[in-house]
């Protein structure tokens, strides 16, 4: 196996992990793809060390989080809405964001559950960045409140408030789903 | 302490399937990787190898120290050079004097001949206009207005 083949396998193995974290932190598919590409280019530069390492996933997550936070800091004023989360595939067709979530659904998975999850994911993506980012770091990346406060450079109280408000918004979404 | 409501949200979030990478990501990454990398010295200084960064810093510091240390000698050399330049510039000064004299002569001639030049210019313009009118009249008579069609 050549280096290029090995690296392609590496990207295949980790692309969902990197992209999934980026799109949840950034709330934007296009920016997430750009960040994911940058992460893999950084990985390529030190592939000899990272490629065979069992901690490659952790390294990729750390770099992805760091790049996403930098990106959000740089483009803080620029807001995107969930309606822009559609992505264009290789043939130029627009792929709805929900399609990528439902695509994993096997026949065994209830369609209603998949639909509910897609709506919850949409709600998560639709949260403002100051609520979404700490929420994602806390629930998906197991960061502590203190670690989030340090990573974002904000007070511990603000982190707790933002996570609480984000959770409340998602809980309302879940309650609405249950009511229907 | 997490409340039940927090737990519900946490469970719902952690049950979400991970978003899948778009199909375009892998080709994009592999295409970017396939591009030949620029040599280190053509990239931003921050991305240079540490050894070369240190060497370049030392080179810049050395150049700055050399400049500061040799400043008196450079200043003295500058004085000598400017004195030599003054002495070697005598032919240029003579040439400049000749050019100034020639321009003065042209100015005097212009003042003397300006009224005559104005009359001559008016005469040339009048003659040109007369010729143009005569030509147009002749063409109209010869073609009988056919050109108007």
Nearest CA in chain B to A37: B29
- Count CB neighbours of B67 within 10 A: 10
**Cβ separation B27–A90 shorter than 8 A:** yes
Closest CA to A76 of A143, A9, A153: A153
Q: Chain B closest CA to A41's CA: distance in Å?
A: 7
> Per-residue confidence at A23, pLDDT binned at 50, 70, 90?
very high
Mean pLDDT of A49-78: 85
- Nearest Cα neighbor of A19 from A37, A3, A45 is A37
**Per-residue confidence band for A105, with pLDDT thresholds at 50, 70 and 90:** very low
Q: Mean pLDDT, to the nearest integer, of A45-50? A: 85
Contact between B18 and A36 using a beta-carbon 8 Å cutoff:
no
Are A138 and A84 in contact by the 8 Å Cβ rule? The answer is no
Give the integer Cα–Cα distance in Å for A47 and A95: 32
Q: Which of B17, B18, B29 sits opposite A37 (nearest CB)?
A: B29
* Partner-chain residue, chosen from B13, B15, B21, that has the shortest CB–CB distance to A19: B21
Q: What are the chain A neighbours of B21 within 8 Å (beta carbons)?
A: 15-16, 18-20, 33, 36
**A7 contacts B33? CB cut-off 8 A:** yes
Radius of gyration of chain A (CA): 17
B-chain residues near A40 (CB < 8 A)? 29, 33
Is residue A14 predicted with pLDDT exceeding 90? yes
Interface test with B, best of A117, A122, A169 (most B CBs within 10 A): A117
- B19/A23 CB distance under 8 A: yes
Rounded to whole angstroms, the Cα distance separating B66 from B124 reads 71
Strand pairing partners for A94? A88
pLDDT bin (cut points 50, 70, 90) of residue A32 is very high
- Residue in A20, A6, A9, A100 with CA at minimum distance from that of residue A60: A20
In A, which residues are within 8 Å of B20 by CB distance?
16, 19-20, 100-101, 103-104
Higher pLDDT, A83 or B44: B44
Got the DSSP string for A146-176? HHHHHHHT--HHHHHHHHHHHHHHHHHHHHH
pLDDT bracket for residue B3 (50, 70, 90):
low
Contact A19 B20 (CB under 8 A): yes
Residues of B with CB under 8 A from a CB of A: 5-6, 8-10, 12-30, 32-34
pLDDT of B47-96, one tens digit each? 788 889 899 999 999 999 998 888 888 888 888 887 777 777 777 778 88
Question: Is A14 exposed, middle or buried, given 0-12, 13-18 or 19+ CB atoms closer than 10 A?
Answer: buried
Residue at token pair 């043939």 = A91
| Centroid of chain to Cα A165 | 19
Q: A52-91 burial by CB neighbour count: b if 16+ within 10 A, else e?
A: eeeebeebbbebbbebbbebbeeeeeeebebeebbbeeee
Interface of A with B (CB under 8 A): 4, 7-8, 11-12, 15-20, 23-24, 29, 33, 36-37, 40-41, 44, 87-90, 95, 100-101, 103-105, 117, 120-121, 124, 135, 139-140, 167, 170-171, 174
Number of A/B CB contacts below 8 angstroms equals 102
CB A5 within 8 A of CB A45: no
Q: How close is the nearest chain A Cα to the Cα of B3, in Å?
A: 11
Supply B73's token pair. Answer: 């000698």
Within B35-89, where are the H helices? 50-69, 71-88
* Residue among A40, A121, A124 minimizing CB distance to B29: A40
Reported confidence tier of residue A150, pLDDT bands at 50, 70, 90: very high
Rounded to whole angstroms, the Cα distance separating B58 from A165 reads 53
Q: Supply A137's token pair.
A: 């770091």
Q: What is the largest CA-CA distance in chain A?
A: 55
Q: What is the pLDDT of residue A99?
A: 45
CB neighbourhood size of A173 (10 A):
19
């Amino acid at each position: 196996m050549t280096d290029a083949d090995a690296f392609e396998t590496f990207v295949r193995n980790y692309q969902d992990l990197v992209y999934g974290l980026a799109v949840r932190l950034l709330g934007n598919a296009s920016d997430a793809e750009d960040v994911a590409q940058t992460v893999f280019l950084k990985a390529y530069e030190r592939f000899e060390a990272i490629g065979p390492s069992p901690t490659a996933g952790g390294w990729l997550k750390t770099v992805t989080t760091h790049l996403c936070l930098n990106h959000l800091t740089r483009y803080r004023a620029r807001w995107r809405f969930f309606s822009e989360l559609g992505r264009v595939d290789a043939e130029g067709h627009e792929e709805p964001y929900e399609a990528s979530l439902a695509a994993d659904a096997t026949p065994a998975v209830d369609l209603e559950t998949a639909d509910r999850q897609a709506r919850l994911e949409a709600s998560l993506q639709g949260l403002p960045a100051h609520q979404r980012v700490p929420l994602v770091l806390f629930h998906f990346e197991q960061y502590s409140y203190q670690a989030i406060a340090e990573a974002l450079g904000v007070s511990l109280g603000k982190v707790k408030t933002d996570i609480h408000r984000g959770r409340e918004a998602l809980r309302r979404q879940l309650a609405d789903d249950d009511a229907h | 302490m997490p409340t039940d409501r927090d737990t519900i949200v946490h469970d719902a979030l952690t049950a979400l399937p991970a978003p899948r990478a778009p199909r375009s990501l892998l080709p994009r990454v592999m295409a970017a990787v396939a591009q030949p990398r620029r040599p280190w010295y053509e990239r931003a200084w921050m991305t240079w190898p540490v050894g070369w960064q240190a060497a370049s810093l030392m080179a810049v510091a050395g150049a700055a120290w050399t400049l500061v240390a040799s400043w008196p000698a450079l200043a003295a050399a500058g004085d000598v050079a400017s004195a030599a330049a003054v002495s070697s510039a005598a032919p240029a000064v003579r040439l400049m004097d000749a050019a100034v004299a020639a321009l003065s002569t042209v100015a005097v001639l212009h003042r003397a001949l300006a009224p005559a030049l104005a009359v001559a210019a008016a005469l040339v313009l009048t003659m040109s206009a007369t010729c143009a009118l005569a030509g147009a009249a002749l063409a109209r008579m010869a073609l009988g207005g056919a050109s108007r069609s």
